Amino acid sequence: MKTQRVNPNGMNPMQMNSMSGMMGMMNSIQRIGKGKRKIAVVLDKGNKKFLSKFIDEVKKQFLSSAMGAQTANLGEFFDYIKSIADSKDQMELKLSFEEYEFLKRMLIDSVRGMEGMSFKWYQFIKKGMIKVMIKQYRELLTKFK
């Protein structure tokens, strides 16, 4: 992937913030799978099911993008989380600091994205479903904090 040079004077602060966030995410993606898994996150049955479905969706998004060799470590990481979330006897998810921060950031970004959605008055079913999903994401996020 070829890097593009950007003139920082020609950008507004929102674009700069967005670019900075994307660069931080790319930096953490490159470091996934390289550290020792010392941070333990204890999950209950409901959180494990939701995490499994969340990882399925995230895996689809990341593997469909053209990131090349960087997705190899990411795919292995998602497989590891999926195996822990699907096993009945393990209630503890071990993560390295980079993996922990990456997962936490993904959950926070998902919540922010869903909170920013606006619906028409007749889309009350969608609105209700999004509210329930936000509640589930926040509950899972409390396990990570």
The whole-number pLDDT of residue 18 equals 72
pLDDT, mean of each 10-residue run, the chain (145 residues) = 68 74 72 82 87 87 66 80 88 86 87 88 90 90 84
The whole-number pLDDT of residue 128 equals 92
The whole-number pLDDT of residue 44 equals 87
Q: Which residues contact 122 (CB under 8 A, 6 or more apart)?
A: none
Residue 40: what are its φ and ψ, rounded to 5°? Answer: -105, 130
CA-CA distances (angstroms) from residue 114 to 6, 12, 19, 58, 68? 29, 24, 20, 15, 28
The whole-number pLDDT of residue 98 equals 85
Q: How many CB atoms lie within 10 A of CB 70?
A: 15
The whole-number pLDDT of residue 10 equals 75
Q: Could you report how far apart the first and last alpha carbons of the chain are, in Å?
A: 34
- Determine if the pTM surpasses 0.95: no
